[in-house]
Amino acid sequence: MPYFYGMKIIHTADWHLGQRFYDYDRTFEHGAFLSHLTQLVVSQDADALLISGDIFDVSNPSAISIRQFYTFLKEVIAARPTLQIIVTAGNHDSPSRLEAPQPLLDSTRISIIGTVSKRPDGAIDYAALTIPIQDAQGSIAGYCLAVPFLRPGDQPAVEGSESPYTDGIVKLYEEAAEHIAPIREPHQFVIAMGHLHTSGAALSPDDKSERTSVGGVECVSPAVFSERFTYTALGHIHRAQRVGADHVRYSGSPIPMSFSEENYVHQVVLVEAEGSAPPTITPLPLPIAAPLLRIPKTARPLDEVVQLLRDLEDVGDRPMDGAPYLQVNVLVDGPEPGLKHRIQTALEGKYARLARIEGVLPDGKPEEESSTPDRLDQLQPVDVFTKKYRQTYQSDPSNQLVELFNELYHSIEN
Ligand SMILES: [Mn+2]
């Protein structure tokens, strides 16, 4: 007798709860997303929710962020009690802190995987990463390989490799697939999760936030996923996209993380999987609670800009936490001491929150490279290392050196 094993799975990632945008609190925006996600889970009759890393923006999230996350878990389960939830750690999350509450969750359908556990002989415990996804009747419809962000040392060793980190990641997924092969029945799907940078993924030009390395040395070829898994739910890159194949995807971040994401369609991905057949994949666009606004689109002289700002809507009695974030583009041909003050004055009582002022010189180049605190805040340690190296040696550091730097950095960060 044929039996329907089809399952509806929602894939999301890169929430960055607790993130501030140019020093503005985003609790409201995250809350709006989480309410919308709960509605989607219910309206789509979702069976499972996969969150592929970077739940929190920092490794020691605030009490408000932690509370927001657990309130969401409680509410989504109350709204749809059969929902299974699988959460993995991203590079922004603390692996051990994220999974610390797991004992309490053992009696629920929620799994949080922060670390890659090893067996006494040092081998990776693939069973601990393999989570059965059950249908409403309790039958196993498929398996999820819940692989968190891998820190150097998590991945298996690859002898003689010039890129031990990336080659080790590929080997880990290969071994995980081999672990599942004898367990999995033909009517069961296998979904892999990952928080990593694949080669060929499109980044926006000024998105430094998720660039963990230069030169692409830390990129994993998406072929390792497309050839082995029914679907791969990736996190880390904030732009929603498929990589290499339709069934290997980044869900992207649900809310914009920088002005470079102005034109992204933020989304979660609905995956309808039935056995090992190609799944049906439907991106579900998300509403934006606080939009990004650039005024004007291209830089104009200050007097004109001030007039445009005065023409903006008044705030009225609306709360400001949904007001657009504003980037002001001003054409400058020299120092303008009163510039910021004039812009701030023009914005008084307006329904917009000043995030940044971009001064553009007549030749079209930005006024200064990257020394504002906000941009510094977005710099990764490896970027600082690379800049210092260039300054000292007038050349780029070798891939091997960058990899060694990352290894050292991650081992300290841990
Ligand atoms: Mn990340």
User: Which residue range is the domain that position 351 belongs to?
Assistant: 292-377
Interval between CA 53 and ligand 1 midpoint (Å)? 7
Among 225, 256, 285, the domain-final residue is 285
Ligand 1 centroid to residue 197 C-alpha, Å: 9
Q: If you measure from the C-alpha of residue 31 to the centroid of ligand 1, how many angstroms do you get, rounded to a whole number?
A: 20
Closest CA to 273 of 183, 148, 170, 184: 184
- The CA distance from 297 to 304, in Å, is 13
> Domain containing 137 — which CATH number?
3.60.21.10
Q: How far is the CA of 162 from the centre of ligand 1 (A)?
A: 24
Does 204 share its domain with 253? yes
Query: Quick check: is 1 in a domain?
Result: no
Mean pLDDT of 278-303: 95
Instruction: Out of 9-13, 313-317, 371-375, 387-391, pick the least confident.
Output: 371-375
Q: Which of 235, 251, 285 finishes a domain?
A: 285
Q: How far is the CA of 41 from the centre of ligand 1 (A)?
A: 24
Task: Point out the least confidently predicted range of 65-79, 121-135, 393-407.
Answer: 393-407
Q: How far is the CA of 18 from the centre of ligand 1 (A)?
A: 14
Whether 351 and 385 map to the same domain: the answer is no
Distance 187 CA to ligand 1 centre (A): 33
Residue 354: which of 49, 23, 115, 20 has the closest Cα?
Answer: 23
**Confidence check: pLDDT of 49 > 90:** yes
**How many whole angstroms separate alpha carbon 100 and alpha carbon 121?**
24
- Ligand 1 mean position, distance from CA 400 (Å): 22
3-state SS record for the chain: CCCCCCEEEEEECCCCECCEECCEECHHHHHHHHHHHHHHHHHCCCCEEEEECCCECCCCCCHHHHHHHHHHHHHHHHHCCCCEEEEECCCCCCHHHHHCCHHHHCCCCEEEECCCCECCCCCECHHHHEEEEECCCCCEEEEEECCCCCCCCCCCCCCCCCCHHHHHHHHHHHHHHHHHCCCCCCCCEEEEEEECCECCCCCCCCCCCCCCCCCCCCCECCHHHHCCCCEEEEECCCCCEEECEEEEEECCCCCCCCHHHCCCCCEEEEEEECCCCCCEEEEEECCCCCCEEEEEEEEEEHHHHHHHHHCCCECCCCCHHHCCEEEEEEECCCCCCCHHHHHHHHCCCECCEEEEEEEECCCCCECCCCCCHHHHHHCCHHHHHHHHHHHHHCCCCCHHHHHHHHHHHHHHHC
Residues 76 and 200 occupy one common structural domain: yes
264 and 317 both lie in a single domain: no
Q: Does the structure show a pLDDT above 60 at 215?
A: no
pLDDT (average), residues 137-141: 90
pLDDT of amino acid 413:
59
Considering the domain architecture, whether residues 312 and 258 belong to the same structural domain is answered as no
How far is ligand 1, taken at its centre, from the CA of residue 319, in Å? Answer: 31
On whether residue 254 sits in a domain, the answer given is: yes
Q: Are residues 78 and 144 in the same domain?
A: yes
Q: What is the pLDDT of residues 82-134, one digit of tens each?
A: 999 999 999 999 999 999 999 999 999 999 999 999 999 999 999 999 999 99
Q: How far is the CA of 7 from the centre of ligand 1 (A)?
A: 27
State which of 236, 253, 285 marks the end of a domain. 285
Overall domain count for the chain = 3
Do 267 and 312 fall within a single domain?
A: no
Is 225 a member of any domain? yes
- Do 65 and 139 lie in one domain? The reply is yes
Q: How far is the CA of 235 from the centre of ligand 1 (A)?
A: 7
Separation of CA 86 and ligand 1 centre (Å): 17
Distance 261 CA to ligand 1 centre (A): 15
Same domain, 59 and 152: yes
Q: What is the mean pLDDT of residues 166-188?
A: 95
Query: Ligand 1 center to residue 413 CA distance, Å?
Result: 15
Range with the largest mean pLDDT of 94-98, 153-157, 395-399: 94-98
Residue 12 contacts residue 255 (beta carbons within 8 Å): no
Q: Does residue 165 share a domain with residue 70?
A: yes
Residue 313 within any structural domain of the chain: yes
Q: Model pTM?
A: 0.85
Specify if 2 maps to a domain.
Answer: no
CA of 311 to the centre of ligand 1 (A): 38
Ligand 1 centre to CA of 6 (Å) is 30
Q: Which range in 2-11, 70-79, 159-168 is most confidently predicted, on average pLDDT?
A: 70-79
Same domain, 312 and 216: no
Calpha distance 331→240 (Å, rounded): 33
Dist. CA 56 → ligand 1 center (Å): 10
The dihedrals phi and psi of 304, each to the nearest 5 degrees, come to -65, -40
**Is the same domain home to 350 and 240?**
no
Going from the Cα of 281 to the center of ligand 1, the distance in angstroms, rounded, reads 23
